[in-house]
Structure 1
Amino acid sequence: MRKTLVRTGAAVAIAAGILGMSGGIASADEISAPVVVPSHPTGADYVNAWNQSGALAGAGAAGLVSSAWAGAIPSIIQGAAGSLG
């Protein structure tokens, strides 16, 4: 039982570390929305627009996860404090 709990805790810690690192990586570059394609686009313009849109989606997802995690900590602490006293 203890071995399973330690392994599960290690997996959760690794996943949280990966999420934290990816959130920092996703928000490192400045990209503005909406992505604009020129009036006479080339193939490279479409590829650049696609890549920028993907970066915006990734940054949004990382921000959502980070906000949820930041909100979960006080909620967990309040729940634990409420059950104790």
Structure 2
Amino acid sequence: MSRTLMRGAAALAIALGAFAFAGGTASADELTAPVVVPSHPTGADYVNAWNESGALAGAGAAGLASSAWAGAIPSIVQGALG
């Protein structure tokens, strides 16, 4: 029972990781941190700053998830084989 459960969990983890990797490729090449608001901002400047901050947070989250997945692969393989 536990071996079947472990294999099912490993397969689910691999499928979720592949799904997250395919959908979570974010790019922040054009963004710089910290986001700068001009000295006399308009409403559009605040909206742009908000959007850039969200993009930076999303790119950071995608990087964190991909790093965690890259570190989890050896653990999953070792657990499946051992």
How many residue pairs end up in the alignment? 73
- Give, in whole Å, the separation in 1 of the partners of 2:39 and 2:51: 18
User: Could you say if the C-alpha distance between residues 22 and 80 of structure 1 is closer, same or farther in structure 2, counting changes exceeding 3 Å?
Assistant: closer
Runs of 4+ off more than 4 Å: none
- What RMSD, in angstroms, separates the aligned Cα atoms of the two structures? 2.6
Higher relative contact order (CA 8 A, sep 6+): 2
TM-score (norm 1): 0.68
Aligned to 1:46: 46
User: 1:17 and 1:51 mapped to 2: Cα distance?
Assistant: 27
Does the CA contact (< 8 Å) of 1:36 and 1:49 recur in 2?
yes
Q: Which residue number in structure 1 is paired with residue 3 of structure 2?
A: none
Gaps of at least 5 residues in structure 2 are: 1-7
Secondary structure of 2:30 counterpart? coil
| Percent identity for Structure 1 against Structure 2 | 72
Given that 2:35 and 2:52 are in contact with CA atoms closer than 8 Å, whether structure 1 keeps it comes out as: yes
One-letter amino acid matched to 1:36: V
